[in-house]
Chains A and B, each alone.
Chain A
Amino acid sequence: MADFDWPWQYKFPPFFTIQPNLETRKKQIEAWCTLILDYQKYLKSYSLDVKEAQNSPLFYNKSISRRLHEDGIYTILGELQKKGHIEWKDKGRKECLIMWRTPEEWGKLIYNWADSKGLLNTVCTMYEISNGDDSADTDFHGIESWLLLRALKSLQLEGKCEVMAGNEGVKFF
């Protein structure tokens, strides 16, 4: 796996202090949002534990000994939530689900893949989509089932597939 390509901000100390100037803060938070989603995508991680993340390289740059503190993390996660990229698992906001693509985007991706593989009008299992050989080189290879289900549900709303009872299989149209 190639090393993660950190953005320039990651080496810029003020990046780890939430800026009081509104205009500056907007840019800073934007950069953080992008970084978090990119990093999660790189890890193929679908959830984030706030306590654990504080000491992960994502929020703690050892080389310049700067870390983003809990308050800052919550500020940025709040912003991500507004954009629909995360969802809190619990009320205490200890852990969140991260969707570096929204369910709709995932749905589109999966539909295109199914189309290209000639899977329309056939029934596939969920496992086939997330872990099957056919999807090995796709982004959604290894996708967690809750997200996959949500992506398919969004497709179903568009009338492009139908999820079978029991959530084990799906039929694309």
Chain B
Amino acid sequence: MDRFEWSDGSLMNGEVHIDQQRGVGIYDGHDKTSFDYGMLSVTSHRIIWRDHRNRNSVISLPLLSVIYLEEQPSGFAKSAKIIVHLSAAPSNKSAGPSTYSAHSYIRLSFRESGEHDILRSLDEALQAKKWEQTSAPLSQTGTVIKDPFSARHRPGIVGIERSIQQKNTHTNKQISVAFEDLNKLIQQAKEMVSLTKSIATKIKEKQGDITENETRKFKSYLLSMGIPNPVTRETHGTGDKYYTELARQLSTVLTKPVEESGGMMTLTDVYCRVNRARGMELLSPEDLLHACELMEVLNLPIRLRTFDSGVLVLQSKSQDEEQVIAHTTNYVGENGNCTAEELAQCLGVSVLLAKERLLLTEKVGGVCRDETIEALRFFPNLFLTRPA
């Protein structure tokens, strides 16, 4: 009985199905086993037995280990049997239903007869010795295991583990190939940046030759090309030093755009702009905020400002609060009244920022509001300025 192996019931390479019979039980020597009623198949290489009820219970016996067969005819209340004499189990055979047997033979009990046909088929198969003609049965009978990964027909936990390991190695290989591509891309991007730098210096030298319009166009190209040496945690360490350096770089890059957009830029805009310029070395919103908080301490030309509504902006230092209020008051005074949208259009800032300006001015009493379903309009504060 210890010569049997667990099987998935599929045929191996070169294996041919010969005959089958239902209602067969297996005896280990004289002892009954739990494999007492199933479908017996004879193939060119093996004897395979499938449990009648539990289809997952399949065991196989390689014909290689069969020495000779003996017939035991049926008697009173006894089924006909075939006694199969076996050689010793090979040392490296796959897991089977039992690891030890006191007997060197098994008996196949034919409860529904058919023993003659099976005996004939077995004899033929044993004489044909087909398992010797292909190399595949070797691994099955366990003499040599050539390729550990072709263990499709190696059942059991070992087989599953091996196939998982094989899959992992494959995935690892694929990942490293993918990252190689990315590294190449970074390398090329660096080359691109140095190229644009050199072009920029050339343009500076020949400034007379090109029109201002072209220069501006090229500058905008450069902006979208990015920040050549972004401050990263890798290059500038962690903690305060990193944030300080980051704040300095941000101020160099952003001072001009901030001034061009009316002296103020919301932090969301800043975030998008900076990360577009940095390309690969993306900044987290938190890092950006930390760096911006340091700007005032570092005495940089731009600094972070929080409006009462909670809107965060980077504000150019030249943009004095009083100046903003005076300017907004003037604008509203000249136009009679205005909405945030109108002010935004006139100043070229976002509606959100225009509204913040108006609210700020309202807070100090420069303007007053007229709230209707159509819009929130701001008027010069005649309540305070006009004599009663």
Main secondary structure of the interface of B (DSSP, over half): mixed
Known: A21-B362, A21-B365, A24-B365. A13 touches B370 (CB 8 A): yes
Taking the complex as formed, is A28 at the interface, i.e. its CB lies under 8 A from any CB of chain B? yes
* Residues of chain A from 5 to 28 with CB closer than 8 A to chain B in the complex: 8-9, 12-14, 16-17, 19-21, 23-24, 27-28
Query: How many chain B residues have a CB neighbour from A under 8 Å?
Result: 17
* Residues of chain B from 336 to 388 with CB closer than 8 A to chain A in the complex: 337, 362-363, 365, 368-372, 377, 379, 381-384, 386, 388
Partner of A20, one of B362, B384, B386: B362
Taking the complex as formed, is A50 at the interface, i.e. its CB lies under 8 A from any CB of chain B? no
- Closest residue of chain A to B381 (Cβ to Cβ) is A24
With a cutoff of 8 Å between Cβ atoms, the chain A residues found around residue B386 in the complex are 8
Query: For B337, B368, B369, which residue has the most chain A Cβ atoms within 10 angstroms?
Result: B368
Complex Cα spacing A28 to B372, Å: 17
Known: A16-B370, A21-B368. A27 touches B383 (CB 8 A): yes
Taking the complex as formed, is A96 at the interface, i.e. its CB lies under 8 A from any CB of chain B? no
With a cutoff of 8 Å between Cβ atoms, the chain A residues found around residue B365 in the complex are 21, 23-24
For B293-320 the 0/1 string (1 means CB < 8 A from A) is 0000000000000000000000000000
A interface, size bucket: 10 to 19
- Closest residue of chain A to B361 (Cβ to Cβ) is A21
For the A-B complex, the count of residue pairs with Cβ-Cβ distances under 8 Å equals 49
Taking the complex as formed, is A31 at the interface, i.e. its CB lies under 8 A from any CB of chain B? yes
Q: How far is the CB of A15 from chain B (nearest CB, A)?
A: 8
Are B370 and A27 in contact (CB-based, < 8 A)? no
Known: A23-B365, A24-B365. A66 touches B372 (CB 8 A): yes
Are A14 and B369 in contact (CB-based, < 8 A)? yes
Are A31 and B383 in contact (CB-based, < 8 A)? yes
With a cutoff of 8 Å between Cβ atoms, the chain B residues found around residue A23 in the complex are 365, 384
Q: How far is the CB of A13 from chain B (nearest CB, A)?
A: 4
Q: How far is the CB of B50 from chain A (nearest CB, A)?
A: 85
Complex Cα spacing A23 to B362, Å: 10
Are A17 and B370 in contact (CB-based, < 8 A)? yes
Complex Cα spacing A76 to B365, Å: 20
Closest 9 CB pairs of A and B: A13-B370, A27-B383, A14-B368, A17-B371, A14-B370, A14-B379, A24-B383, A19-B368, A24-B368
Given contacts A8-B382, A13-B372, A14-B379, 13 further A-B contacts (CB under 8 A): A8-B386, A9-B383, A13-B379, A14-B369, A14-B382, A17-B371, A19-B369, A20-B362, A21-B368, A28-B368, A31-B383, A31-B388, A66-B370
